[in-house]
Homo-oligomer: A and B are copies of this chain.
């Protein structure tokens, strides 16, 4: 079937005109996969995939506006409602940001609204009796080294053992007290040229730097939390007694295509702050 069923006796749409056009109306039956039932791919998901591809390829950069819904509808030769549904889901996944009256924009880690999307550490009592919010902390880079990936790191980042990785260590402080020791691992190839100087020169969220300077946008992350005892080194750096309980937050961060591109281990003294989570 090649035309919309609801199409009121209209003239057939001209084909081609250089616009990429999804396979058919009303979705497409993809070939039945080896396991499981055949899947149905609705039109709006195909549009979604096309938009995702444009985002990945950098057709629109973080912070920029994408074309209006009307324009996109014309480009893909679908109704505005279909484009709308595609954008809706991308906006729900924080890939895009809608702003009424202005347009739809590529999400960016520079913007305040999404700045601390991945930060779950909160002070136990909100400062100044105000609303609970992300904790204001200052960051100090301890070191930034290039080395061969240990087995465990390579496995998690889906690299070959021995490939070069970058290790960053930094301390997050609040009120001059050390709160979190972060140990960050990055694939060397993707972050060529990253150095301690460059990190020190940059103020703002790390993910903003990655996005602006290395074209790598962090999309989602998974975290595993454990309580551990501080060993001698950690105890010294965090200024606690050896054996003190620490909250270990291990985060794997993913870019497009579900590629893991950052491993982060945060060691946290949770006497004055906590990890906050909402279950919905």
Nearest Cβ on chain B to A124's Cβ, whole angstroms:
8
Task: Report the bound CA distance from A72 to B19 in whole Å.
Answer: 40
Q: State whether B222 touches A268 (Cβ < 8 A).
A: no
Whether A224 sits at the interface, judged by CB under 8 Å, is yes
Q: State whether B118 touches A274 (Cβ < 8 A).
A: no
The B-contacting residues of A in range 261-275, CB under 8 angstroms, are 268, 270, 274-275
Whether A174 sits at the interface, judged by CB under 8 Å, is no
User: How many residues from A make CB contacts under 8 Å with B?
Assistant: 32
Whether A279 sits at the interface, judged by CB under 8 Å, is yes
Task: Report the bound CA distance from A92 to B221 in whole Å.
Answer: 20
Whether A38 sits at the interface, judged by CB under 8 Å, is no
Task: Report the bound CA distance from A221 to B276 in whole Å.
Answer: 11
Nearest Cβ on chain B to A156's Cβ, whole angstroms:
13
Which B residues are in CB contact (< 8 Å) with A142? none
Which B residues are in CB contact (< 8 Å) with A251? 279
Which B residues are in CB contact (< 8 Å) with A270? 225-228
Nearest Cβ on chain B to A203's Cβ, whole angstroms:
23
Whether A246 sits at the interface, judged by CB under 8 Å, is yes
Q: State whether B225 touches A278 (Cβ < 8 A).
A: no
Q: State whether A117 touches B220 (Cβ < 8 A).
A: no
Whether A204 sits at the interface, judged by CB under 8 Å, is no
Nearest 8 interchain pairs by C-beta: A245-B245, A227-B227, A227-B245, A225-B275, A227-B247, A226-B270, A221-B279, A224-B274
